[in-house]
Structure 1
Amino acid sequence: MNVTIVGANGEAGLSIIDALSSSPNEFKLTAFVRPTSINKPEIQQIKNKGVSVVPINLENNHDELVKALTGQDVVISCLVPFTTGPEIALANASKEAGIKRFLPSAFGPPCPPEGVMLLREFKETIINHVKKIYLPYTVVDVGMWYQVSLPSLPSGKIDYALKFPAAVVAEDGSHATSLTDLRDVGKYVAKIITDDRTLNKYVFAYNEVWTQEEIHTHLEEVSGEKIPRNLMPARDIEATIADAQVKYDASDKSLPFIFGLAGPQYLYCEWFRQDNLPEPAKYLGYLSTKDLYPDFEPIKYVDYVHEVMQGKGKSIYADR
């Protein structure tokens, strides 16, 4: 199977490349990267895994894109959709090139299409375009990564692994969310793209469900430290989002304003509203990897926490 990954040097893209490159007889991999990124160290890492790297611009480059995609079976977009133009251009070229399955950039929490998260609305614009042109697709969401779920310890012992420590506890800590180890994302994708049952479907891939209080309590038990709870009522996060929305609406829609709104919205979606759970995902039409692949053995959350406590964890976006 010929697979092209776009945005391959992001965290989700690297996870997918790690998983697919471990089966070289099954997957032949190509990575599209921006010409300006071709000399980055992570691109060399990708090449070292046997991936063919193609420097190419996505926008205003339709004919070249079609040519580069011709003969490919699957296209996986790991672009962060701060703008929709590049991914829509990729979808159009994929359609003309005869791509058999297109994975639009998702890899986050399942969520209603409008009114909850700005980034989801960007993603839905792309998904709707994919459907408009009848491009075969699969949307894969993976919940919250283990790697962004832990709070800091007072000692600072695990700060090395926490690029984005969990600083706020929703309400009383009893709200739950679905968690997935970033390293398992690629393993799920390897199964999903070879499964006819997932074509033109939404799939929710997740490992375990934990509440925030369970996470804090477990970390306290294994660390021997007492972690303060910064409890936040729903009305406070809602006020933060409302203020960020006003600023975004009046802005030039540049990245600082997107981040200012997207950050609290993610928190609201995953912990306060509890969209990121199996039952809401089922309501929204997602298939579950628990049903599709009952024999899959994901990395256990307690094992991830143990790794981090042992100094063997890895921070996401460590060099960026």
Structure 2
Amino acid sequence: MEGQTFHLSPVKRRQFLKGGLLFAGQFLLDSLDPFKTSASSHSSRVVIVQSDSIRAGGLKIHKQIVREMLETAMQNLFPGSPGKTVWKTLFSPKDVVAVKLNCLAGKGLSPHPELVEAIVAGLKSAGIPERHIILFDRLNEDLKRAGFKINRRPPGVICLGNDSAGYDPELIVYRSIGSLMSRVLTNYATAIINVPVLKDHGIVGFSGGMKNFFGVIHNPNKYHLNVGDPYVPDLSSYPLIKNKLRLIIFDAVNAQYDGGPPYIPRFAWPFNGLIAAADPVAVDYVGWQIIEEKRHEKGLPPLKAVNREPKYIFTAADSRHRLGTANPDQIQIIYKKVS
């Protein structure tokens, strides 16, 4: 199945998992623009790359394998820009790139430093100096528990939590959101790479890319009502986030189908993959379906049956938010294996 591309339709969703992913449906052309969203008739591209060889023992992963996986994901997400030129297409040497991690759950269910190192290498290949790359999350302690070293100033890549960077004192009032935002985004970043993990969430159902931006505001606890709807898409549609977001790369080496957001090993499984997209809605939709399929495999009810269906994903695709597509007929899924 390597190299094939498919529609993900509701009828075919049950064919999603068993070791590797299985996709069925109509073939799509490989030249579609990954930035196309629900505003057009074109598909949004989501690339899933898996490798049975990625694990290096314990919680570590092989650096070379994850680099190959990331390169494969980027080449298939942006097929018009071969090799390392993909990064040069997306980023300018003048950019300051904020890489939003999700380290709440510690080493068991956070972005792997090896993957983040590969992302940094890609940015450097685009001519971006290390001092213009900022790895950040809510707290320094979250980052440290996930295996990252805090570095508040050059030389080297910057890595810090909002408790070090601080929040901009100007209150943002936008749709349902009233928050202070991390100075990483308000004062420094010209571009964002979102690096979430693949997991369920005990309140909002699914914690993916859009939900990860709750970690850039000072009061995310306010916005979990009504399964995060419309708060998640309202925050993601704030221009400072929407207009700077260039890329979403899920670290799906480990995934979790219940009990999230903390890491609970008995609900986790080795997905051994990366999921990449430019459409934040499409990639969240696909990630949600992977979680649903695993829940079904384990005999758990769908999230809707336990009042945790992440309807905010559909809200994000509506005519007001226009963040992407949640229509499975408009999502082009490309599956690749790396040996």
Question: Normalising to structure 1: TM-score of the pair?
Answer: 0.33
Which one has the bigger strand percentage? 2
* Larger helix percent: 1
Q: Which has the higher contact order (CA 8 A, sep 6+)?
A: 2
TM norm structure 2: 0.32
Larger Rg: 1
